[in-house]
Copies of this chain bind each other. A is one copy, B any other.
Amino acid sequence: MLEFVLLGMLMEGEMSGYDLKKTIDSTVGHFYNASYGSLYPALKRLADKGHVSMKETADSKNRKLYALLPEGREAFMQWLAEPQNSRRELLIRVFFFDYLEEGIRMEHLQGYRHAAEREVRELDAVRSVVESELAGIERPEDYYYRVSVLDYGLMHAKMQREWIQNIMERKSLNHVNPDK
């Protein structure tokens, strides 16, 4: 995962490990964390694999610049085109979707939308069952927070569904590009 994030960040141009950390923190940092303890070894692995090049700078700091090599670019693009593997990958992948071909992108987004819709339906069903169960017990107030967490899941799934819907309708672009 981290390796692909690094490759993705290097798509923009060469950077040091330190820069990469800062870039990650300031972009995907809200939902993905990279510590130096994982970042530097990951860069070393990528260099060993021949996915990135490492160039020591002459500016007297012991600074090293990493740049994407064609092999690394290919590995990144291949990863990006794959279907999403884990839930936590969703946002990272979408973050890099500007690099992905429109066809595959839309295919993936449709998949995500479908998954989100299914989840809303499932949780709605669970919520109904829970509600009728609560109606039949002595002290339903004692389960208030448990039920609240279920509501969180439902709100989250609905939000996600709406978000994907907005993306597909290019709602956000209207913002950026009001005349269209």
Contacts and interface: CB of A to CB of B under 8 A. Distances in A.
A35 interface: no
Interface string A164-177: 00110010110111
A145 B31 CA distance: 15
A59 interface: no
B31 A153 contact: yes
B172 A144 contact: yes
A28 interface: yes
| Copies of this chain, count | 2
Interface residues of A, number: 40
A131 B175 contact: yes
A144 B163 contact: no
A144 B172 CA distance: 7
B95 A176 contact: no
A64 B147 CA distance: 29
A142 B176 contact: no
A162 interface: yes
Contacts of A147: 172, 176
A141 B180 CA distance: 12
Interface string A77-115: 000000000000001001111100000000000000000
Given A141-B177, A155-B159, A176-B140, A95 B149 contact: yes
Nearest to A156: B159
6 nearest CB pairs, A to B = A97-B145, A95-B149, A159-B159, A98-B145, A140-B176, A30-B153
